[in-house]
């Protein structure tokens, strides 16, 4: 049944207004703190080609950890299951930038969506490609069919200047033999990758192949086979919103990946992909209004994976 997503998005846009100043904009990357907390955008990309949007759906924002999903998809499509010898597939139950598990798990990160795991994926891409972050950038440009997508070099530099914790994580893994390239170059690539900016409309389109079992809906190009796409969806559900993944699954019921820029990409497999952006974060680092918007979306549409 074709649903009128537009009236649902308009309802959600109205409902989130009181929440827009409740969250806290990330400031540990100084440049991110300059974004206005009152922003809200949402876009739906249906696999049949229909698109819907509300609010600031055409305003660019910093993808941050959402890029970890695209980096993982690229690494998984090229390297296959061998990546799982260097990174796990379990929820961490810890903040995204935590160091504690790495010590007793001997430098093998719990999953590819915490910072440690994403640094390993960057390292894998750095070995495979001339420049890891350029490979990720070209990949997302192709997925969104948008050659103008780019890094935000000011945000990248701001993160690199303050990347003490991520550098510590990277050195720690290097000591365990789980980082093959120089720490400084992996951190540089990772910070540039995280700085990629997109609009909600671009992000929903870029993620749509994961809702269509690994195949880009508008071009028919297979990025991942259906089984691999299922596996990435499962990882998003269990690990994509960090130690809030249980609560997110309870409230929203969709595989999703969030970022500290305030974006969330969520998937309705076989149906649509949804991007939402609101920069105010909750205590777990996920967009406060964005999570609420997705909760309302699955409630009002009565569609989720459950």
65 in active site: yes
In the complex with ligand DON, the residue whose CB is nearer, 65 or 189, is 65
- Cβ 83 vs Cβ 75: under 8 Å: yes
Q: Which of 252, 260, 276, 292 is catalytic?
A: 260
242 is catalytic: yes
Tell me the closest approach of the beta carbon of residue 223 to ligand DON, in angstroms. 23
Residue 5 annotated as catalytic: no
State which residue, 260 or 276, has the beta carbon closest to ligand DON.
260
Look up 16 and say whether it is catalytic: no
Q: Using an 8 Å Cβ cutoff, are 305 and 9 in contact? A: no
Phi, psi of 305 (to 5 degrees): -85, 0
Show Cβ contacts of residue 2 under 8 Å, excluding neighbours closer than 6 positions: 50
Alpha carbon 246 to its chain centroid, in Å, reads 17
CB of 96 to ligand DON, least distance (A): 4
Q: Which of 92, 242, 273, 292 is catalytic?
A: 242
CB nearer to ligand DON: give 167 or 301. 167
Give the residue from 195, 217, 194 showing the smallest Cα distance to 204.
217
Shorter beta-carbon distance to ligand DON: residue 221 or 283? 283
Measured CA to CA, the distance from residue 240 to residue 222 in angstroms comes to 23
- Which is the catalytic residue, given 68, 174, 205, 257? 68
Displacement of CA 145 from its chain's centroid (Å): 18
Smallest distance, Å, CB 119 to ligand DON? 9
Catalytic site residue from 35, 44, 53, 65: 65
Contacts of residue 250, defined as CB under 8 A and 6 or more positions apart, other chains included, come to none
Closest residue to ligand DON, judged by C-beta, is 65
Catalytic pick from 5, 53, 87, 190?
190
What's the sign of the alpha-carbon dihedral 147, 151, 153, 154?
positive
Shortest Cβ distance from residue 206 to ligand DON (Å)? 16
Residues in contact with ligand DON by the rule CB under 6 A: 64-65, 96-97, 115, 159, 166, 194, 258-260, 285
| 17-29 residues labelled b (16+ CB within 10 A) or e (exposed) | eebbeebebbeeb
- State in angstroms the smallest separation of the CB of 78 from ligand DON: 23
In the complex with ligand DON, the residue whose CB is nearer, 189 or 228, is: 189
98 a catalytic residue = no
- Residue with Cβ nearer ligand DON (159 or 295): 159
CB of 105 to ligand DON, least distance (A): 19
Structural contact between residues 86 and 151, judged by C-beta atoms closer than 8 angstroms: no
Contact 118, 112 (CB under 8 A): yes
**Alpha-carbon distance 28 to 281, whole Å?**
12
What amino acid positions are annotated as catalytic residues?
65, 68, 190, 242, 260
């Amino acid at each position: 049944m074709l649903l009128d997503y537009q009236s649902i998005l308009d309802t959600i846009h109205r409902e989130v207004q009181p929440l827009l100043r409740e969250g806290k904009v990330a400031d540990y990357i100084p440049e991110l703190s300059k974004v206005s907390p009152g922003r809200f955008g949402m876009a739906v990309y249906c696999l049949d080609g229909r698109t819907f949007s509300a609010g600031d759906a055409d305003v660019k924002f910093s993808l941050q950890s959402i890029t970890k999903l695209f980096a993982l998809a690229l690494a998984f499509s090229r390297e296959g299951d061998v990546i799982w010898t260097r990174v796990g597939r379990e929820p961490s139950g810890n903040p995204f930038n935590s160091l504690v598990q790495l010590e007793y798990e001997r430098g093998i990160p719990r999953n590819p969506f915490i910072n440690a795991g994403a640094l390993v994926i960057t390292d894998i891409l750095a070995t495979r490609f001339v420049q890891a972050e350029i490979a990720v950038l070209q990949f997302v440009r192709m997925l969104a069919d948008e050659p103008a997508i780019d890094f935000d070099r000011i945000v990248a530099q701001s993160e690199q200047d303050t990347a003490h914790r991520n550098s510590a994580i990277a050195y720690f893994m290097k000591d365990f033999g789980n980082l093959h390239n120089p720490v400084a170059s992996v951190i540089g690539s990772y910070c540039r990758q995280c700085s990629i900016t997109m609009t909600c409309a671009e992000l929903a389109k870029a993620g749509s192949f994961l809702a269509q079992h690994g195949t880009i809906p508008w071009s028919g190009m297979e990025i991942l086979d259906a089984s691999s796409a299922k596996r990435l969806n499962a990882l998003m559900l269990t690990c994509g919103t960090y130690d809030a993944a249980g609560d997110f699954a309870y409230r929203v019921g969709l595989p999703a990946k969030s970022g500290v820029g305030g974006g969330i990409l969520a998937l309705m497999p076989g149906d649509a992909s949804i991007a939402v952006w609101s920069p105010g974060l909750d205590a777990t680092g996920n967009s406060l209004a964005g999570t609420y918007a997705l909760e309302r979306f699955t409630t009002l549409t009565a569609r989720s994976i459950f």
